Structure 1
Amino acid sequence: MTQPNLGCGHEREEIYKPRKPPPVVCVVCAWQLHLVHGTHHGRDLWFLRHASRAPDCSVRLGEGMQHHLLKLDLAAHVRAVDGWRADYEVAAEDGSWRADVMATGPDGRRIAMEAQLASIAVTDIEARTARYQAENIECCWFTDRKTVPWLDNVPAARVQRPEDGGEVVVTAGPARFVPRLCDSACGPIIDGTPLACPGHGTWQGVDPFPLARFVAGLCHDTTRPHHVRIDFDPVLRWVTRPYLALEEQQRRAHAFFEQAIDDQAEINRRHRQAIHDLIARQDDLKRPVEEYLYARLGFYPELAGRGDPTFAMGVPVHVNGRPYAVICPVANRVAFRRTELASLILFAATERERDRIAAQALPGQRIEVIPRPQPQ
């Protein structure tokens, strides 16, 4: 009705106030329809209305002026996109769905645009959305209601028509991802460097913008429905690819951040285990080393209680108050103390430990292997 050519070989004027009522009937209730012409803020409005005493039907219930205006806006914005067409009241062959405005692209892609100004239960609108999806038809529900309980559940947008007749704007439904970084590092220190902040960005609503731009985005497939978290709750919102890219960038940063923390935790665990194992070896070798040196010196040496950094974290052994030997020094620390350790006897618990120490010590370093006592 919004175009002079009705698309069926007839002109609009042929069914507007004719002498004889034209055979135009409602496809739902089969009641006669009249073509109505009106204006709103200087705009021509053409739409079909049921003749008097018509029965209730799903089409008739949505014939308010605001409903017609919104459908008119949606159709006009679709037709403004190159290659796209808009048709009113397009129904499934089996009657399972009826779109207020069906937008069809040059590649056959279809988007059902529903002007849902009346109240509807969440379960009902979800079911109607599912019927479109079952036939590979995308959809978007438009409403001007202030309270929309289903806005988070189905692809939808809230619109507002200015009282001065200005262009309709979208006020809710789309969302944008707003990145946010800490002023300083917010994670642990890895290898002496604080981890950079992975980001604390959030999804937020958008400022009102023209409905025409939103419809163009739907047709160009640059805005898509996507589940996001707003105030910790998962909701369905219309988003664009750049915002999705920002979210993905933060997701990857968080994954790297968490992996780095896990890796550092594993390094710390292994380090603690290595210290535990080192202390156990040293404790096990204390008595055998005492007996070994007693057999050669004729008296017991003096053993420190624990490893000493000065002796590469090995347990120092003193004879007559002077360093004489070291029990199980840490191999990778021997390299930094090789000169001080060169004149001492180094004790190892296994051949493998001896080889590790020898690889870091000066050539000719005396290293004795004393096996750990077997547990009784």
Structure 2
Amino acid sequence: MPLTAQHASAGVLDATVDPLGEGMPWEAIHRARPRAPLTCRECGHGLHAKVSPKGLRFFAHDRAAPTCSLVGETMAHRLLKLQLASAIRDAGWYAELEVAGDGWRADVLATSPDGAPGPCPGHGWWRPVEPGVGLSVFVAGVLVGTIRAHRALRYSRLFLESARIVWTTRPHVIAERAQLVASEHRREHDDLASAEHERHLAAIPAKLARQQALTPPAVELVGRESRGYVGVRDATPEWAMGVPLFVYDTPQGVISPVVSRISAEVRARLGGLTLFVATEAERRALARACGPEQRIVLFEVEIPDQPQPPAAIYSGTFWSRRQWATGASRRTRR
């Protein structure tokens, strides 16, 4: 039901104010005889003035009214329009109800005292907020610009997209932007971590193949220099994922440790041992990580594309299948 009507001579009448317009009182149109010449500003059909059981003044369409967007408004909707208009007027602005424009119609149109329209670029999203904000405070904030309509942004699974328009304050907009920046940084970090993880997985077979190719010459050198039995143990973080070589339970060397896993503790543990590498680039990287005093031996070995079964590496050279399984070796030749 509309809250405004078009009078044949007095122009637009507003049921929410006194007088209604052009100095016309409510009594001049409500149950007046002869009937006041009122029509709907939306559809042009005849209207008559009414009062709800709770005292709300409004206009109702006469019978056989055509389809009109103002027909069927709930009481809650009409009360909200009334409260908005009152809050706008309390803030010192002009409020007009049910104003139609080029392809749009405003339930309530706010105009500043200097004639500029209110700062309302679109529809907002209404929902309860905590703590609650009074309608008068909200409307006054919208009119002076401390509360603004803002198109919120959010990250979907793949990209940044626009969400709903919300009414909010500048600090909340700044907080949203900070959150979006943090989310973008986190997403970039996750992408980099995922790429690094994939590179790490791809590098594992090459690392194992390199360590296997280095093991025979490294065992031969350690056995010759120490004149003892050489035991090859599993690669563990304790040795920066390199393969440690022991003689009588004493570490003597490490085959191809991972540079990125060399901490201060691991660096101290590697000091005094011999490190074995297969490339000049690996030797330089280890030298930077361990210091100039670290002994590093470079063997030019043929590295297979994929690591081989241990028995295939050592059978016929320094290790037998049984020796690989038990961790024992025969004495290397001097």
Letter in 2 for 1:76: S
Report the secondary structure of 2:136's partner residue: helix
Is the Cα–Cα contact under 8 Å of residues 272 and 294 in structure 2 kept in the other structure?
no
2:230 equivalent in structure 1: 302
**Within 2, Cα distance between the matches of 1:60 and 1:353?**
79
**CA deviation profile, 1:113-162 (whole Å, cap 9, x unmatched):** xxxxxxxxxxxxxxxxxxxxxxx9645xxxxxxxxxxxxxxx46xxxxxx
Give the equivalent residue in structure 2 for 1:85: 94
The separation in 2 between residues aligned to 1:247 and 1:59, in whole angstroms, is 36
Q: 1:301 to 1:311 in 2, by over 3 A?
A: farther
Counterpart residue identity of residue 136, structure 2: A
Q: Which SS does the other structure have where 1:224 is aligned?
A: strand
2:268 pairs, out of 325, 336, 339, with 336
| CA spacing shift, 1:250–1:30, aligned 2, 3 Å | closer
- 8 Å CA contact 2:222–2:253 kept in 1: the answer is no
- RMSD, aligned CA: 5.1
Gaps of 5+ in 2: 1-13, 155-161, 306-334
Which of 1 and 2 has greater Rg? Answer: 2
Aligned residues of 1:89 and 1:101 also touching (Cα < 8 A)? yes
The answer for the alignment partner of 1:280 in structure 2 is 209
- The structure 2 residue matched to 1:104, chosen from 111, 119, 142, is 111
Whether the aligned pair in 1 keeps the contact of 2:256 and 2:276 (CA below 8 Å) is yes
Unpaired segments of 5 or more residues in structure 1?
A: 112-135, 140-154, 157-172, 177-205
Q: Distance in 1 between matches of 2:246 and 2:179?
A: 58
- Provide the rounded CA distance (Å) in 2 between the counterparts of 1:329 and 1:71: 75
Alpha-carbon separation, structure 1, partners of 2:39 and 2:243: 102
Cα 1:226/1:283, change in 2 over 3 Å: same
2:272 aligned counterpart, secondary structure? helix
Corresponding residue SS for 1:340:
coil
User: Equivalences for 1:193-232 in 2 at 5 Å?
Assistant: 206=130, 210-221=134-145, 222-224=147-149
Report the equivalent of 2:83: 73
Give, as a single letter, the amino acid of the residue that structure 2 aligns with 1:371: E
Report the alpha carbon displacement of residue 304 of structure 1 after superposing the two structures with TM.
1.0
User: What are the residue-to-residue correspondences of 1:145-184 with 2, within 5 Å?
Assistant: 155=124, 173-176=126-129
From 277, 285, 298, the equivalent of 1:369 is 298
> Which has the larger strand fraction?
1
Tell me the equivalent position of 2:168: 240
Q: Give how far 1:337 is off.
A: 3.5
Whether the 8 Å CA contact 1:347–1:368 is kept in 2: the answer is yes
Paired letter, 1:349: A
Q: Distance in 1 between matches of 2:302 and 2:75?
A: 96
Q: Aligned in 2, Cα 1:282/1:104: closer, same or farther, shift over 3 Å?
A: same
Separation in structure 2 between the aligned mates of residue 80 and residue 271 of structure 1, nearest angstrom? 67
Give the alignment's TM-score, normalised by structure 1. Answer: 0.50
Match of residue 4 from structure 2: none
Deviation at 1:284, TM superposition (A): 0.6
Task: Provide the secondary structure at the position in 2 that maps to 1:336.
Answer: helix
The one-letter amino acid of 2:212's match is D
1:23-65 deviation digits (Å, cap 9, x = unpaired)? 665555656666x597987x8x766667xx6652438846998
Give the AA of the match of 1:104: T
Equivalent position of 1:165 in the other structure: none
Q: Relative contact order: is structure 1 or structure 2 higher (C-alpha 8 Å, sep ≥ 6)?
A: 2
Judged with a 3 Å threshold, the aligned counterparts in structure 2 of structure 1 residues 216 and 273 are, in CA distance, closer, same or farther, namely: same
How far apart, CA to CA, are the structure 1 residues paired with 2:69 and 2:201?
74
CA distance in 2, matches of 1:88, 1:365: 86
Is 1:11 the counterpart of 2:11 in the alignment?
no
SS at match of 2:99: strand
Equivalent residues in 2 for 1:237-276, closer than 5 Å: 238-241=166-169, 242-257=171-186, 259-264=188-193, 276=205
Alpha-carbon offset, residue 285 of structure 1: 1.3
8 Å CA contact 1:339, 1:362 repeated in 2: no
* Count of aligned positions: 272
